[in-house]
Every structure is written in C-alpha cells, then in structure tokens.
Structure 1
Amino acid sequence: APERMDALRRVCHLSRELGCAALLIAGDLFDTPQAAVALRAEVRELFDSIGQEVYLIPGNHDAAAFKSGEYYGRNVHICSDMPVMWEVEGVPLLGIPYLPGRQGVELLRSHVQGEGAPCIVIMHTNFYNSSLSALYFSEDDDDSASACLWEGDLADLPQTYIALGHWHNPTLPPIKVNNVRVAYSGTPYPTSKGENGARHAFLIDVSSEGFDVQGIKIPGVPRRETASFFFVPGEEDKIMEEIESFLEQSADDEVILDLEVAGWVGSISEGACAA
C-alpha cells in the first residue's frame, strides 16, 4: 500500500536526519514474496538515496524474497538463510534470519558469548518473558512451530541489545534481562486493529557501558486508536448520541479510529445506525 511505502521512506529519512551509522530492519520488509518483486526497484532506489548502511533480515512473511541473492542496493547487507556477523563502527552486529521453532535461539547462544564489546542482534521471533515463558515451554524439539525466544534464554548472555521483529507494537521501555535489552520497534505503519499509539523508530546509542535506547516518533504517520461503547436496552438513543458526539469531537486526519460496539439493544432505528 502507498501509505506503508511512505512510512518506510519516512523512517529512512529520519535515520539520515539523526545521523545514524546504520538502519536496521528486523524482518518482514515485505508482506509477501510477490510484494518484494513488485516493490524491489522502488525500495532499492530509496535505500540508495539515503546513503546509509542498511542491515536487514528475512521475516516469516518475506523469507523467500531473499533466498536468491536479489540486489537491494549497494549499501544493503542481508542474511538470507544463515546468520551473519557484521561490524558497524566497531560494534558487532549479528543478523539471524527467521527460523521456525528454537533454531534461532541456538544460533543466538552460539554466536553471542564471552565478555567482548556490547553486541547488537537482529532477530525475527516471538519473545515471551516472565511467567509467559512457562506457557510456551515444550520438551519437544519442534522445529516446525513458530519461532520463539524465552526470557530464560537470555539470562547468561553478555551485554547485548536484541532488536526484534514480528510483533507489531513497540516495546517501550525495552525489557531488561540481566545484561540483555530486548525490544520490538513495531511496524512503521499501523496495519491492523490493536496496533494503537504512535509509531516509533528506535535510536540505539552504544557505549562501553551498554545501550541507551530511545523511541523516536515517526513524523507524518497516523496513529491508531480504539474507542469502545456498550449498549443496554432502553439506552440505545443515548448511546447513539454519545457515539455521534465522540466522532464529531475526535475527527483527526492523523488518527485511524477503530470503533468497537458491544452489548444488547431492545430496539434501534435504521436511521440511527446509518448515522
């Protein structure tokens, strides 16, 4: 969709304006391999125009788009089906492509070891922390299931920031697990119901002491919000008036509004519903 391409363009320009050393994309740059074919030339032109290094990994939606070595720009670095260790201004950067089950965790733990410089990792996976981890734990080594990472996987790792893709809402502030910080930046454009609030790009500042991570609002991208109303018999007209008043007062070109209505009605006019 044009609005999503515009959001990517705004992220790229924001990265350049902030003077970032690199732009990291944690998977699902495209919705489908077909979208990758249709948009590749436009995306390549965009990446070339910003003059920055771009590091990206495949997600579950677009893994097939990177398996044949397609060219996405002279400054674009991709790990297709195997992890790749890069370096950005002296900072180790590990890219791990989307892999089902626990395969990505094994690669993470085998590549991030020791007491060296702080490391950044790009992964595309589900992350479950605290008590939620137990709900998704399985004794079976099921490598066909959805990719997952648990809090316990990170407990003994050295200083690491894990930039996650897959979940569409941002994690602010990042979750801390001993020496590790982990966060989703979310999608740059709200694509589905429930993706509420401002869209962010994450600015990662690395020093010998660790990481400082800030969520920077992406300018010009609408936020999504949800408004809920509940009907009870006998109050239908009153609730309809409240909805109408709310919509009039909340009209905003910068907001995508999802209206949720529940409850019971005794009777309500067709005209009121149409309004």
Structure 2
Amino acid sequence: MKILHTSDLHLKQFEDERWDTLIKLLEIGKKEKVEIFVISGDLFDKEYIAEDLRPNLRKIFSNNVFNILLLPGNHDSESYKSGLYYGENVTVLNELTVPFDYKNISVWGIPYEPIGEKQVLEKLHSIKSELKPDKTNILIYHGELLDAFFSRKDFGEEGEERYMPVKLSYFRDLNLNYVLAGHFHSIFEVWQIDENKFFVYPSSPISIKKSELGIRKVNIFEVGEPPQEYPLDTPHFEQISIEFNPLEDSDPLEIVKKSLVNIHPQAQVCLEVKGYINSQSLGINERGLVEQINEVVSDQCYEVDYQFKDISVILEDELFKKFMKKLHLSDFNDDVKDYMKDLVIKSMMGVKK
C-alpha cells in the first residue's frame, strides 16, 4: 500500500501557484497509485481562506481513487469544525482518540493546539493502549521536533514561539511505525525512531519563503518501507552567488549569463552579485552595469542583491600594481593570495575615502 505525505501548502487563493501545486500533487497521487493522501497541517495559510476555497476543494478532492486525510495545523486549526464537508473520501483527523482505519493500518491524528511538551506527551500516551500490535500505526502530527537543529526561518513565518514540541524519545515506547509530520518547511528530512519506525518532514511542496531553497519534495512510500523523497516540478527559490574579479579577463555580464544556464524552469532565482569591477577598463560604471544585468535577468530572477563595487581608483593606483606584481611572484597559495589581495583592497578603500 502506497501513501503520499505532504504538508504546509498554505493555500491563499483559487488557481494561484499554490493551488496549482495541490492539483499537481493530486495528479501524482493518481499516477503513483497511492491509497492514502495525507496533508499534515496548514493546508490553508489563514483560517478564513478555508471558507472561500472549500467549495472548489470539494470538486478536486472528490472522485479520487484514494482517501484524503487532513490534519489541522497552527495556521488553520479552526478551519475544520464538525460537520464541514470537504469532499468524498476526505477525513479530517480532529480527534486523537478516533483513528482512520483502512485495511491493516490505523492512522491517528493529533490536531494542533497551543500546548507545551508535557501536554503533548500526555496526549500521546493517552492512546498507547489503543495502538494494536497487529496493525501498522501511523501518527499525523504538526509541530516542532526538538531533536532537530533548525533555525526559526525553517518553519515559515513563525517567530520564536514553540509549536507543539516533541522529542523522538516520546515515540520510542509507542507502537507507532510512522510519524508523518508537518510544520518544517525547508527540506525533506527523516529520522529513525527505532527499528522500522520513522519520523519524517516532507518539506513544503512549493516554496513559501525565500529560505525554502531548492527543488521541493513530498514523501511517497510503501507501508512497511522507509519514507522516500519524491522530487516535484513546482515553483521554488534558488540562491545563486557570483563574484566579479577585475584582475581576470572576464566580462561581468557573461558571468551573470553563465550563472543562469540550466536553471530549473520553475526556479525563482535570488541572485547575489559580489566582488569588484574596474569601470575604466570595462568602459561602464556601476549604474550602467546594473542596468545591463537587470535586462539580462529580468525573466529569471526574483530579486538581485547588488554588492559589487567599482574600485578602479585602486586598481589603477601604481602602489597597488606594484603590490600585485610582487604577490604574483610570491610562493603563497591561491587562497592566501586572494585573502591578501582583498585585505589590501579594503585597506586602500578606507584610505581613498
């Protein structure tokens, strides 16, 4: 039996990029012949959005060949009140003590609440006796794994607050084969709780913030096997950093163009442009070069961070030329030479101010 596990779509409006990503995930579910499709929280970015989108969700959630399981997350915890209809074969896991039973598995959901470690642990142990040994038991969870070394930006726009924190040790004496988690956006990550027991974050299936870099993933796995990452063809951010070196015979504009070759068609590039230029030898000043770069990158870059500087006044200085000649003849390795060159440039920039 195959399960598709995703989370944190943060839907905002009908037929935008996030909505299109959900459509694509449902198509993947059909293609991969999954029997259960799990969204581990934060399907919606805000609770009121569920009211706007629910009629359209009914259409795409119905007539699928798999069961869809939804868990309330911290962004949409009030979106799943009793009696609301999200479509055929859609189950909202609103109560921890009421699992979704299907064939030889039981899927339990712990809906998000603003509670701490102790309360989460108590809730988990409240179902310990209900986790039957003859079943594959799966927990759907939305919150923060304290064992992991994450920064706050990995969880989206959440600030410093803790969100239903847990530790891997909380699950070791529970008969849970999988913890299919949500809330962590940045990367696909799996932890082994014990033999044949796994905790997994699938990452957001579409980049929500610029910190969510690289091709996005979902978790598609056969029950009884470890979680498996499944790369997606969805919008995502890529970070590219280039550095101009005025002491090399290279065209800055060509450097920019080469850096954008073979970029994924769904990538939104955050380009960082560092280093130095010699406007005298290039025949163009900082403003002119920025204008040329903007023309080249306009279709591929989400943003460009210009950090490069024109240091022609230093590069044409006779003292600097003598220094570079001696440095070139020295026995230092390239890293040391680069460090010394940068140190001298920065020192002379301070003097030339």
TM-score higher than 0.5? yes
Is the 8 Å Cα contact of residues 27 and 60 (structure 1) preserved in structure 2?
yes
Q: Does 1:212 align with 2:229?
A: no
Aligned to 1:224: 237
1:75–1:152: structure 2 CA closer, same or farther, 3 Å change rule?
Answer: same
In structure 1, the residue matched to 2:21 is 7
Distance apart, 1:125 and its partner CA: 0.4
Structure 1 residues 246 and 105: alpha-carbon distance in aligned structure 2, compared to 1, 3 A threshold: farther
Contact 2:188 2:217 in 1 (8 A): no
Query: Which entry has the higher C-alpha Rg, 1 or 2?
Result: 2
Residues 89 and 191 from structure 1, CA distance in 2 versus in 1: closer, same or farther, beyond 3 angstroms? same
Q: CA offset at residue 115 of structure 1?
A: 6.4
The 5-angstrom pairing of residues 155-170 of structure 1 reads 155-170=172-187
TM-aligned CA distance change 1:157 to 1:37, over 3 Å: same
In structure 2, C-alpha distance between the alignment counterparts of 1:33 and 1:235, rounded to whole Å: 56
Whether the 8 Å contact between 1:226 and 1:258 is mirrored in structure 2 is yes
Alignment partner, residue 136 of structure 1: none
- Aligned-pair CA distance for 1:154: 2.5
**Which deviations, in whole Å up to 9, do the C-alpha atoms of 1:169-211 show, x marking residues without a partner?**
3434x210224300111222112112222222212322xxx43
Q: What is the DSSP-based 3-state SS (H/G/I as helix, E as strand, rest coil) of the residue aligned with 1:249?
A: coil
- After TM superposition, give the deviation of residue 19 of structure 1 in Å: 1.7
Change (3 A) 1:115 1:71: closer
Q: Per the alignment, in what secondary structure is the counterpart of residue 183 of structure 1?
A: strand
Candidates 231, 241, 244, aligned match of 2:256: 244
Aligned match of 1:59? 73
User: What are the residue-to-residue correspondences of 1:12-161 with 2, within 5 Å?
Assistant: 12-80=26-94, 83-100=97-114, 101-102=116-117, 103-113=119-129, 116=133, 117-129=135-147, 145-161=162-178
Which residue identity lines up with residue 157 of structure 1 in the other structure? L
Q: How far 1:241 moved relative to its partner?
A: 3.5
Q: Which amino acid aligns with 2:268?
A: I
With normalisation by structure 1, the TM-score equals 0.81
Alignment match, 1:139: none
Matched, 1:256 2:256: no
SS at match of 1:67: coil
Counterpart CA distance in 2 for 1:94 and 1:81 is 8
What is the distance in 2 between the residues matched to 1:27 and 1:237? 53
Distance in 2 between the 1:26 and 1:39 partners? Answer: 18
Relative to the length of structure 2, the TM-score reads 0.64
Alpha-carbon distance, 1:227 to partner:
1.0
What are the superposed Cα offsets for residues 195-234 of structure 1, whole Å, 9 maximum, x if unpaired? Answer: 222222212322xxx433222223x4244321123578x6
Kept in 1, the 8 Å contact 2:40–2:181? The answer is yes
Asked whether the 8 Å contact 1:98–1:104 carries over to 2, the reply is no
How many matched pairs?
A: 258
Structure 2 equivalent of residue 196 of structure 1: 213
8 Å contact 1:204–1:212 — kept in the other structure? yes
In structure 1, distance between residues paired with 2:258 and 2:122 = 51
1:54 aligned counterpart, secondary structure: strand
Equivalent-residue separation in structure 2 for 1:105 and 1:170 (angstroms): 26
Q: What is the CA–CA distance in structure 2 between the aligned matches of 1:262 and 1:83, rounded to whole Å?
A: 56
Task: Give a deviation string over 1:110-132, Cα, whole Å, max 9, x none.
Answer: 324566133111000011226x5
RMSD (Å), alpha carbons:
3.0
Q: Which has the higher strand share?
A: 1
Which sections of structure 1, spanning at least 5 residues, go unmatched? 134-143
Structure 1 range deviating more: 39-48 or 148-157: 148-157
Structure 2 counterpart SS, 1:203: strand
In 2: Cα distance, 1:154 partner to 1:263 partner: 50
Distance 1:165 1:159 in 2: 17
SS in 2 for 1:224: strand
Q: Distance in 2 between matches of 1:33 and 1:10?
A: 23
Question: CA 1:238 to 1:61, structure 2 compared with 1: closer, same or farther past 3 Å?
Answer: farther
